[in-house]
Structure 1
């Protein structure tokens, strides 16, 4: 049976260590980490007050070949990144085990990873490999596929689903509204800004994967 593990690992075991060390207030997030077997996805979402400094540091980071800004929203920016090979020892370990990194978000010196393993033996091997290679890690949660509710079929990450469910249960979508974003963010122990990002992106994923069955053709008149 598959097992899901949520780990904290130091930034030097993954990517953008130098950048995150220089700018500890920056947060970086993948929604899908690995594509085409062992290639890191080229897309990252970045939340930074000083995008100019982030772009300068990230472009010079040893793991980056090229960085290109694609879209900017209220609180975050989407980048396309060309990564160098051997970008992080954690990814190497995961590939060796044939496990899958489903989500990754980094900032303030560490990365939070959600990894799907085939079984608990694979989890033990991952932990042992980390010990042998002197990679520090902190296991936050370990659970089976029957425990969490999953919104994967609708394109939601676990964090986005958690934010939606928590907001709905608290009455955020009721009329009149019973709680504020600050109340829900406090419950989830995240910032109001992070919660706003998760809800916006969750709404986007739900619309894209439920209402928008057939995307409009280019140049279609409305």
Structure 2
């Protein structure tokens, strides 16, 4: 039976946690394409940062050969990472076991990884690998494979969902607007630029997962 599991990590073990040494307020999200082969280079989005003249030159970690900004879109940076898989991390655990990484979302305080496994044994093998190689992950959610629950089908991150909900509640989407981007930012405790990024990407995802699926 296929199962899905969510693990969290809080001690900065994942190599990309090094980004937070330079950008402590950033949020990192795995791109939709999830390569797990050592010859492939995965991509990540970094949000909630000032992207003008952004550089990753000072970001260093033994699990990263190279990291650079490919592009900036809607206030977010698109990164390309070349991993050093000699460093034991979640990535090596994925490569060495039969699990698939569905999503990864990180902040300075916590990383959250969602995996899919074809059987309980596959997931147990993954957990054993992490334990044997001192990869600190905590299992926080486990359930059988099922259709997406209401709300999840829209493919929004928690941050995007929160920003869009607050903006809607405050009247940001009314015409004329009853609230400004600064009002939403004050309510969330983030910058107006970060609000704009979350609303733009959230709107794009809503359209992609609703209107575009109807075509």
Smaller-chain TM-score bracket: 0.5 to 0.7
Aligned to 1:134: 134
**Which has more helix, going by share of residues?**
1
In structure 2, distance between residues paired with 1:67 and 1:17: 15
With the length of structure 1 as denominator, give the TM-score of the two structures. Answer: 0.65
Task: Please name the residue that 2:69 is paired with.
Answer: 68
Q: How many residues align?
A: 202
* Cα contact 2:26–2:46 (8 A) shared by 1: no
For 1:27 and 1:119, locate their aligned partners in 2 and report how far apart those are by CA, in whole Å.
31
5 Å-filtered alignment, 1:201-220, equals: 201-208=201-208, 211=211
SS in 2 for 1:56: coil
Assess, with a 3 A threshold, how the Cα gap between structure 1 residues 40 and 208 changes in structure 2: closer, same or farther.
same
**CA 1:161 to 1:13, structure 2 compared with 1: closer, same or farther past 3 Å?**
closer
Distance across 2 between alignment mates of 1:104 and 1:159:
10
Distance in 1, matches of 2:2 and 2:159, equals 20
Name the residue aligned to 1:3.
3
Q: Give the distance between the partners of 2:18 and 2:48, measured in 1 at CA.
A: 16
Q: Specify the alignment match of 2:24 in structure 1.
A: 24
Structure 1 CA distance for aligned equivalents of residues 51 and 211 of structure 2: 36
Partner secondary structure for residue 157 of structure 2: helix
Q: Report what 1:123 is aligned to.
A: 123
Change (3 A) 1:148 1:66: closer
What runs of 5+ residues in structure 1 fail to find an aligned partner? 214-222
Counterparts of 2:129 and 2:114, CA distance in 1 = 17
Partner of 1:91: 91
Q: CA RMSD in A?
A: 4.1
Q: Distance in 2 between matches of 1:167 and 1:46?
A: 19
Distance in 2 between residues matched to 1:162 and 1:4, nearest whole Å = 23
CA distance in 2, matches of 1:30, 1:43: 5
CA displacement at 1:150 relative to structure 2: 7.1
Cα deviation, 1:100-149, whole Å, max 9, x if unaligned, reads: 11111222154211111112222222222222222222222112222742
* Alpha-carbon separation, structure 1, partners of 2:97 and 2:84: 18
3-state DSSP of counterpart to 1:204: helix
For 1:42 and 1:23, the matched residues in 2 are separated by: 18
For the residues of structure 1 that align with 2:120 and 2:170, how far apart are their CA atoms? Answer: 38
Alpha-carbon distance in 1 for matches of 2:159, 2:107: 21
Q: Secondary structure at the match of 2:57?
A: helix
Q: Structure 2: state its 5+ residue gaps.
A: 178-182
Q: TM-score, normalised by structure 2?
A: 0.67
Separation of aligned partners in 2, 1:92 and 1:209: 32
